[in-house]
Amino acid sequence: MQSRSPAASRPGRPRSAAADTAILAATRAALVELGWSKLTLGDVATRAGVAKTTLYRRWSGKNELVVDAVAELFDELRLPDRGSLAADIEGVVLQFAAILARPEARSGLMAVVAESTRDDALRERIRESIVERQKRLVVEGRARAQARGELPPETDPADAARTADLIFDVVAGAVVHRTLVSAEPADEEWVRSFTRVLLLGLGSLGGAA
């Protein structure tokens, strides 16, 4: 989870793996009940049944802890092949929306992103453990669509990377904004409309329902 140094067969008492999972679960529970700002590390330690010092030995602070706790929520993201680009997009967006609908994600994700604007190491940690995994789904879905002939093949690899970044920002940004700023559910109806705009553009809306 934290990609620490080797840690392979080091002398001395090993760190409890159960403590790690208990702490991360306790962090999510505290996020649900208290939210980001009222979450204290002392409280998390109590919930997890560990000493506060143990927590500080493994995480340098609240930011890093919450990143790891929230990152686990995104482990379940999958991209099953549903046969068409539109169906693939709708499927993964609905998964993403379901995760963002959970209170521990809502409270924690935006807060650590906000903190990351002033902390490069934190931003890199978020990128590694959360963002990059999502972006891989975009690349994979795009490749599938190109194999099906639904999208034009990419000419320049640099162009392809820029396009993947653009698609990712549009998809993730729209769902996040809908869920956290507008505070409306990204339900099936919304996802269908969004997918239509993404594939066909604004002009495709408004004509026939």
Partner DNA sequence: AGCTTTCGCTACGAGTCGTAGCGTAATGGC
Partner DNA sequence: GCCATTACGCTACGACTCGTAGCGAAAGCT
* Contacts with a second copy, residue ranges (CB under 8 A): 35-37, 85, 103, 106-107, 109-111, 113-118, 123, 126, 131, 150-155, 159-160, 162-163, 165-170, 172-178, 180-184, 190, 193-194, 197-207, 209
- From 172, 78, 178, select the one nearest 164 (Cα to Cα): 172
Window 15 to 54, contacts with DNA (CB under 7 A): 15-16, 19, 40-43, 49-54
Which residue, 50 or 97, has its beta carbon nearer to a second copy?
97
Tally helices (H) and strands (E) across the chain: 10, 0
Give the residue, chosen from 47, 58, 123, 196, that forms a contact with DNA under the rule CB under 7 A: 58
Token match 């409306």: residue?
A: 184
Kindly state the smallest distance separating residue 111's Cβ from a second copy, in Å: 4
**Chain length of the chain:** 209
- From 97, 29, 95, select the one nearest 65 (Cα to Cα): 29
Phi/psi class of residue 79: alpha, beta or left (left: φ > 0; alpha: ψ in -120 to 50)?
Answer: beta
| Token pair of 172 as six digits | 């993730």
Which residue, 46 or 134, has its beta carbon nearer to DNA?
46
Examine residue 2 and tell whether it contacts DNA (CB under 7 A).
no
Give the residue, chosen from 1, 61, 132, 193, that forms a contact with DNA under the rule CB under 7 A: 61
Residues 138 and 171: beta-carbon distance below 8 Å:
yes
**Which element (helix H / strand E) includes 159?**
helix 157-176
Residues 124 and 3: beta-carbon distance below 8 Å:
no
The number of residues that bind DNA (CB under 7 A) is 24
Kindly state the smallest distance separating residue 14's Cβ from a second copy, in Å: 33
- The entry of DNA, a second copy, none near residue 51 (CB within 5 to 8 angstroms by kind) is DNA
Binding stretches for DNA (CB under 7 A) = 9-16, 19, 40-43, 49-54, 56-58, 61-62
